[in-house]
Amino acid sequence: MKRKSFIYSLEYIIDMNFNQICKAIKEVKIQGAENVARAALKAYYLNPTKEAVKKLISLRPTEPCLRNALAHLDEASYLIGEYGSKLIGKNNIVYTHCHSSTVTNMFRIAREKGKTFLVRNTETRPLYQGRITSKELSKLGIPNSHFVDSAMRVALKKCDIAFLGADSITPDLKVVNKIGSEMACEIADRYDIPVYICTDSWKFDPQTIFGFPEIIEYRPKNEIWNNPPKGITIVNPAFEKINPNLITAIISELGVLSPADFISEVRKAYTWMFK
């Protein structure tokens, strides 16, 4: 049976910024260990930096729930970096699409370990999140070649390995990620390039266990074309589901696992979700 959400008492923080949430936690306007942890997670998402983590932890020193929630994300990111970087060979050409902080962090760790590799990435129309990836890689000193989306096959076919992020993973083994991701996987399959998904296990979507389909977000048409002539229907899907057969493995804090093994480890790790 689907459980009720208990976060109704925190609705008022939805419009708060990072500093306002910190103030509310400090002044005990947000109280109760679990509510403090939930609010801190929201604040962390608004400001995902090491300084923010330090500040959030300092607000209520007797709150291990808050510390554990924040630590999970950092620990998972660290482990994904450790596992993923091992898969990058010397002077590899590596592909990625869109912007995944988990993938970029893994590249950072690989670089810190002395791995030399070149990243090829696609720009990700219409919002160009691929540029964020390119900018971050440049800052990290990782050589990077940037391609338009329609050059995806050209970008990919000489790559040794591909890494993508995930927005959601469903019990029927589907990884949902930025539009273009399944196309990238199909091209990679054609050229025998292994594809790894880098993701925290929290991307598993428990709602889908209860028969709710994973909804694919369709975004406003003006992101693509501001004033198109009449009679044109603009279709702007933000995400797509990837066929699990096209995924070599999912790299998470649970290990480097096939989609089926990943789901079975998630089932063990989060038994309460399946009741």
**Phi, psi angle pair for 251, to nearest 5°:** -100, 115
CB atoms within 10 A of CB 114: 8
Report the residue number whose CB is nearest to ligand RUB: 165
- Are β-strands 175-178 and 239-242 bridged in parallel, bridged antiparallel, or unpaired? antiparallel
Q: Which is nearer to ligand RUB, 97 or 115 (CB)?
A: 97
Q: Which is nearer to ligand RUB, 60 or 146 (CB)?
A: 146
The angle that helices 50-59 and 33-46 make with each other, rounded to 10 degrees, is 160
Q: Which is nearer to ligand RUB, 176 or 193 (CB)?
A: 176
> Which residues would be at the binding site for ligand RUB (CB under 6 A)?
98-102, 129, 165-167, 177-178, 238
Minimum CB–partner distance for residue 32 and ligand RUB (Å)? 27
The structure tokens listed for 237 are 């899907």
Q: Which is nearer to ligand RUB, 24 or 166 (CB)?
A: 166
Residues comprising the chain, all counted: 275
Minimum CB–partner distance for residue 116 and ligand RUB (Å)? 23
Q: Which is nearer to ligand RUB, 35 or 81 (CB)?
A: 81
Minimum CB–partner distance for residue 7 and ligand RUB (Å)? 20
Minimum CB–partner distance for residue 78 and ligand RUB (Å)? 14
Residue 167 bears catalytic tag: yes
CA distance to 41, 109, 248, per residue, from 9 (Å): 15, 39, 42
Minimum CB–partner distance for residue 13 and ligand RUB (Å)? 21
> Contact at 8 Å (CB) between 110 and 137?
no
| CA angle, 122 then 48 then 80, to 5° | 60
Which of 167, 189, 192, 261 does the annotation list as catalytic? Answer: 167
User: How far is the C-alpha of 62 from the C-alpha of 72, rounded, in Å?
Assistant: 18
3-class SS string, 74-143 = HHHHHHHHHHHHHCCCCCEEEEEECCCHHHHHHHHHHHHCCCCEEEEEECCCCCCHHHHHHHHHHHCCCC
Residue numbers annotated as active site: 167
